[in-house]
Amino acid sequence: MRAFRNVDGAPFFVARAKGAKIWDVDGKEYIDYVGSWGPAILGHAPKVVVDAVREAATRGLSFGIPNPLEVEMAELICDWVPSIKKVRMVNSGTEATMSCIRLARAFTQRDKIIKFDGCYHGHVDGLLVKTGSGALTHGRPDSAGVPQAFADLTISLPFNDADRVRRVFAENKGEIAAVIVEPVPANAGLYLPSDDFLSIVRNECTANGALLIFDEVITGFRLARGGAQEIYGIKPDLTALGKVIGGGLPVGAFGGAAEIMDQLSPDGPVYQAGTLSGNPLAMAAGLAQLREIERINGWKLLEELGAQFEKLARNAITFAKTDVTFHRVGSMFCLFFAPGPIVDLAGARRSDLRTFARFFHPCLKSGIYFAPSQFETGFVSTAHTPDDLERTGAAVHEVLATL
């Protein structure tokens, strides 16, 4: 993705970033809709976060010993996300999903996992099966170096196909440890769950003694105070978090029901550890960001900005009379260069990648930076202004009209 290979170009290098803007090493300014792939929910280098990191750094960069900030973060997560009763800090979203899978297998004493095509859960061996994000962008949905035996324990199904979920549970009675899902898939573009899909998955897990794992590394604290599970009214057994809770620094977390989390060492037999887990700088940055979002009612602002961008984008699409499908939820969006409806990976892969590249480069030349891949999600931050969105809408309108 970052090499621009999918759009047949060369990447620029960033010199600095502030608010909704980034500047490359040549001094050119861009309005940024990547936001470090999601965590820059307040924009780049927000003062409240930078000040918190600076202050924390004066007290030490890493301890490898418990510190008060990780307790504050744990208490905040448990307060904001009702399904989480206990939480453990890790260093990345990959570590969070990996730990959830290990924990689910130990708790259920089963081995098989269900995931969904196009959902990316980090570079965990057993989850690099029909994945999204960079692997999909470069045409390699599976990774070399993953033993076939690992992949054999992972069953990948089309997203939004509830009948297939029911069928797989029936065909693998007593063998499924967990279902892991991005409640809003955001690594193959962005598509949304049907009205009853997540609730059916929840019911099937409950009926069959399997755990439901929500990967909210992207959606957690971005879509709502309680994440996507708050919006859709679903209570998972385990949740993986990351991105926003680090304020731009490396971080991850996972949590869930106490009886499940109690299986972790030192209380239980499931080993998990990390020297930098709960790092004081990451915790300080994340706490400052989350508290600022709550203080300014950031989710309301993000919805308003997202709605403004959607209106501008849809107007541009209508004027251009082109086959572009626009999806948005909150501050997350995607323009698919394919006719709708798009409800799963197969639909997303109908996209015309050459046309996307012809859209991407003129936008970039106009100072609008979208992700250099059709199969990524765009992000609006609280630092984007209505004028930024108007300028972006005008550029999209102009470019689409020429395709």
User: Catalytic: which of 117, 215, 237, 388?
Assistant: 215
Can you list the positions of beta strands (E) in 282-375? 325-329, 332-336, 368-369
Within 13 Å, how many C-alpha atoms sit on residue 98's CB side? 18
346 residue type, one letter: A
User: Is 33 noted as a catalytic residue in this protein?
Assistant: no
Q: For every residue of 1-25, which 3-state class applies, written as one string?
A: CCCCHHHCCCCCCEEEEEECEEEEC
Please name which of 195, 193, 197 lies closest in space to residue 205, comparing C-alpha atoms.
197
Copy the structure tokens of residue 277: 């887990």
Contact 244, 332 (CB under 8 A): no
Contact 97, 240 (CB under 8 A): yes
Copy the structure tokens of residue 27: 């001094």
Please name which of 376, 330, 343, 346 lies closest in space to residue 120, comparing C-alpha atoms.
376
User: Catalytic: which of 21, 86, 115, 243?
Assistant: 243
Please name which of 133, 132, 135, 172 lies closest in space to residue 154, comparing C-alpha atoms.
172
Q: Is the bond preceding residue 193 a cis peptide, omega within 30 degrees? A: no
Residue 379: CB atoms within 10 A of its CB come to 27
- The DSSP result for 157-222, as a single string, is E-TT-HHHHHHHHHHTTTTEEEEEE-SS--SSS-----TTHHHHHHHHHHHTT-EEEEE-TTTBTT
User: Is 243 noted as a catalytic residue in this protein?
Assistant: yes
User: Catalytic: which of 30, 120, 232, 369?
Assistant: 120
Task: Give dist(CA 197, CA 252) in Å, integer.
Answer: 27
User: Is 18 noted as a catalytic residue in this protein?
Assistant: no
What crossing angle do the helices spanning 298-320 and 280-295 adopt, rounded to 10°?
80
Strands 252-256, 86-90: pairing kind: antiparallel
Task: Give dist(CA 59, CA 61) in Å, integer.
Answer: 7
Catalytic residues: 120, 215, 243
